[in-house]
């Protein structure tokens, strides 16, 4: 009886060891397939974005990519010990380009939405923004919030395929809506008096107001939506997500994030180098 019990215990221990070994081996194979391993072997971090969204990613007067996201991406590549490789793509193709391995990560002020999350994974949000409104000065005495624009007599603009467009359709649906390929075109429609209001993310509207708003626009700067921005990676890559979340936690606590934030979000001194 005692002998049988010893044999049974030995069998159970053996099975546990085998299962653990198989699980450990599977974990190692999973880690080898992670994007982080591919980046390290390649010696390059390929970052996808669409230039033109101030102050996150844009081109300076010398043709170089600059901005809030660009500086964080460079800090990320430095932390990995690899070269930063910028990949500028059109917004409507940015998620398909990630999925087809044109780059390793999307760092392009992308709002975390449930629809996008079905196609990609997001790591922890790195900044929180919301939709704000720039209105033509002719409306400054009658329009005080987005609710005042919810009228068929008003025409509102934004960029095609953005959360600004979604917010208009959801929150200001009674107004007439005109979409544009770029946020600059949408903004100019209001500046030139061809539309009544422009809806877009707070950071861009801050810059737009400083550039073109004086005497022509009124800024309704209180966001009427809650929008976390996040870095997007391919689904199922837990190792890469873990590294990115730890990197974000590190830069938010060692002063790196604040330095970049103050440079691009709080200040507009950089404007002279991108005009």
pLDDT digits (tens, 9 = 90+) for 74-92: 999 999 999 999 999 999 9
Taking each helix axis from N to C terminus, what angle separates 2-32 and 238-253, rounded to the nearest 10 degrees? 70
pLDDT of 168 strictly over 90:
yes
Query: In this structure, what DSSP letter does residue 270 have?
Result: G
CATH, domain range 37-128+228-273: 3.40.190.10
Terminal-residue alpha carbon distance, the chain: 88
pLDDT of 3 strictly over 60:
no
The residue with greater pLDDT, 211 or 247, is 247
Copy the structure tokens of residue 155: 């025409």
Q: Is 121 exposed, middle or buried (0-12, 13-18, 19+ CB in 10 A)?
A: middle
Helix (H, G, I), strand (E, B), or coil: what is residue 129?
strand
What CA–CA distances, in Å, run from 254 to 75, 78, 260?
12, 15, 12
Q: What is the pLDDT of residue 211?
A: 87
Q: What is the pLDDT of residues 197-229, one digit of tens each?
A: 999 999 899 889 988 998 999 999 889 999 999
Residue 180, H or E segment: strand 176-180
Task: List for the chain the helix, strand, coil content (%; round to 5).
Answer: 50, 20, 30
pTM over 0.85: no
Backbone angles phi, psi at 250, to 5 degrees: -65, -50
Residue 220, number of CB atoms within 10 A of its CB: 22
What CA–CA distances, in Å, run from 44 to 58, 99, 208, 246?
21, 18, 34, 19
Could you tell me how far CA 159 lies from the centroid of its own chain?
A: 16
Q: Where in the chain is the domain with CATH 3.40.190.10?
A: 37-128+228-273, 131-225
Burial 169-208 (b: 16+ CB within 10 A, else e): eebbeebebebbeebbebbbbbbeeebbbbbbbbbbbbbb
CATH, domain range 131-225: 3.40.190.10
């Amino acid at each position: 009886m005692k002998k049988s019990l010893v044999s049974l215990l030995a069998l159970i221990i053996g099975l546990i060891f085998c299962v653990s070994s198989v699980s450990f081996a599977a974990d190692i194979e999973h880690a080898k397939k992670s994007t982080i391993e591919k980046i390290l072997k390649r010696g390059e971090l390929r970052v996808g974005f669409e230039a033109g969204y101030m102050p996150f990613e844009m081109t300076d007067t010398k043709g170089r990519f600059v901005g809030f996201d660009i500086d964080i991406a460079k800090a990320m590549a430095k932390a990995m010990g690899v070269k930063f490789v910028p990949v500028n793509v059109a917004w409507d193709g940015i998620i398909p380009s990630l999925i087809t391995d044109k780059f390793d990560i999307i760092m392009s002020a992308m709002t975390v939405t449930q629809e996008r999350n079905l196609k990609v994974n997001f790591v922890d949000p790195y900044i929180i923004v919301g939709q704000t409104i720039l209105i033509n000065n002719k409306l400054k005495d009658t329009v005080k919030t987005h609710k005042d624009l919810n009228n068929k007599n008003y025409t509102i603009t934004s960029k095609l395929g953005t959360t600004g467009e979604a917010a208009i359709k959801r929150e200001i649906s009674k107004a007439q809506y005109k979409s544009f390929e770029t946020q600059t075109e949408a903004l100019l429609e209001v500046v030139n008096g061809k539309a009544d209001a422009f809806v877009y993310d707070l950071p861009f509207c801050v810059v737009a107001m400083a550039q073109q708003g004086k005497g022509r626009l009124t800024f309704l700067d209180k966001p009427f939506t809650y929008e976390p921005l996040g870095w997007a990676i391919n689904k199922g890559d837990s190792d890469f997500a873990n590294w990115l979340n730890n990197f974000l936690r590190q830069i938010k606590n060692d002063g790196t994030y604040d330095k970049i934030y103050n440079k691009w979000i709080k200040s507009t001194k950089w404007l002279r180098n991108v005009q």
